[in-house]
Amino acid sequence: MATAAPPAPRASAESPRSPLRWLWLVLAIAALIYLPILLTERQILGHRLSNMQLLNIGLSQVNLMLITMLGALSLNYLTGSAGLISIGHAAFYAVGAMSAAVTGSQWGWPFPAVLAAAALCGAVAGLLAGLPSLRVRGLYFVLSTFAMHYLVVFAFMEYQFKFFDVVGVPYKGASLGGWDINTPIRWYFFLLPLVIAVYWLLHNSLQTREGRAMQAMRDHELAATANGIDVRFLRLKAFALSSSIAAVGGALFAYYLSNVTSEFFGIQFAIQFIAMIIIGGMGSLPGAVVGAAVWLLLPAIINGLTAQAGNTTGLLRSVLVDHKPQLVQAIFGSLVIVLLIFAPWGIAGMASRLKARLAARWRRS
């Protein structure tokens, strides 16, 4: 006797084939394409927008945010997915910047070759930085990344003073096949696909068998080893891939600013990446993107708000105008503490939980 076919599953808002999901995707792509035009012309559909209506955000800040996202994504892959805590991530940015100076500024290599060289140098530096993880754990390994940071920054400083002196390392203009990347809009349309490609690469790598093994190593190293996972190889591979991406970000950072010094890559530069993945969500690639956006754009928004308070007096002026840098630091410090206490999964985790609750209510209705 033939049995009836099981009923087709009910379509949900989470289904990849959901028309609503495709609609949101199209709207997101349209918004990303229109964003540089909006921030450059400062108007929408012929209607002029004020600086506050645009949240005091400019296209240069967005470009720096995209470059910073490369560092946040790579560190979240290393720390959040592989469980390897590093406070020397700025060193890989410095490796990329120094590699770009040698190959681009001194040897005259084309821009794509400069980025490839930065990726290779970053991978080698990552392998060297990951070697202590084969012997030491915990605080001892964290201190090894801390020492590696200062060694790389010292090497960059010596290189800078030997060839370029105190004025900093200059970088030539970037170009791709005769297409000069010399305006904020051109930088935006170069950086955006690159960040999307890196996100796609890391996301897909975590879905593979090796990616799941790496996450198992993060959750319980002894159990992963007992199941035949070569955790030593995975540690080195995670470090190499993460540092390679960060080094490319460092090369792009140097090219975008056109001149950098060793002071750009201080320990505060490294700590900001840790703050980004905490704010966005440890172990979440969307969290790395969100964390970088908050870290780079929130100061601009606060500066815009304080500019509106320029005519105020008393305590309000003292807080918003006279102590503006301290206000920004206090907000970021408070945000990190609140998230660690009440939402250790970060902003992206909060959004995912809210989305799951809404989807559950939709299915019950």
Q: What is the pLDDT of residue 126?
A: 93
pLDDT in tens, 173-193: 999 988 999 999 999 999 999
* 175 beta partners: 180
pLDDT for 93 beyond 60: yes
Q: What is the pLDDT of residue 16?
A: 47
pLDDT for 325 beyond 90: no
What integer best gives the mean pLDDT of the chain?
Answer: 87
Q: Which of 157, 166, 185, 188 is nearest to 252 (CA)?
A: 188
Percent of the residues in the chain that have a pLDDT greater than 70, as a whole number: 91
**Least-confidence region, from 11-25, 238-252, 253-267:** 11-25
Beta strands in the chain (DSSP E): 43-44, 47-48, 169-170, 174-176, 179-181, 259-260
pLDDT for 116 beyond 50: yes
Say how far apart CA 308 and CA 311 lie, in whole Å. Answer: 8
Q: Are 262 and 94 in contact (CB under 8 A)?
A: yes
Determine the average pLDDT of the residues in 134-159: 89
Q: What is the pLDDT of residue 92?
A: 96
Band (5; pLDDT cuts 50, 70, 90): very low
Band (12; pLDDT cuts 50, 70, 90): very low
Q: Are 92 and 273 in contact (CB under 8 A)?
A: no
Say how far apart CA 322 and CA 167 lie, in whole Å. Answer: 31
How far is residue 100 from each of residues 68, 183, 255, measured CA to CA in Å? 17, 20, 8
Determine the average pLDDT of the residues in 68-73: 96
Q: 43-44 and 179-181: which strand pairing?
A: unpaired
Say how far apart CA 205 and CA 319 lie, in whole Å. Answer: 46
pLDDT for 264 beyond 90: yes
Q: What is the pLDDT of residue 13?
A: 42
pLDDT for 6 beyond 50: no
pLDDT in tens, 267-321: 989 999 999 999 999 888 999 999 999 999 988 888 877 777 666 666 766 676 6
DSSP three-state, residue 18: coil
**Residue, of 360 and 72, whose pLDDT is higher:** 72
CB atoms near residue 182 (< 10 Å): 10
Q: Is the pTM of this model over 0.85?
A: yes
Q: What is the pLDDT of residue 153?
A: 94
Percent of the residues in the chain that have a pLDDT greater than 90, as a whole number: 52
Neighbouring residues of 69: CB distance < 8 A, sequence distance ≥ 6: 195, 288, 289, 292, 293
Q: What is the pLDDT of residue 75?
A: 95
In the chain the domains, ranked by start, together with CATH numbers, are: 58-358 (1.10.3470)
Q: What is the pLDDT of residue 2?
A: 42
Neighbouring residues of 193: CB distance < 8 A, sequence distance ≥ 6: none
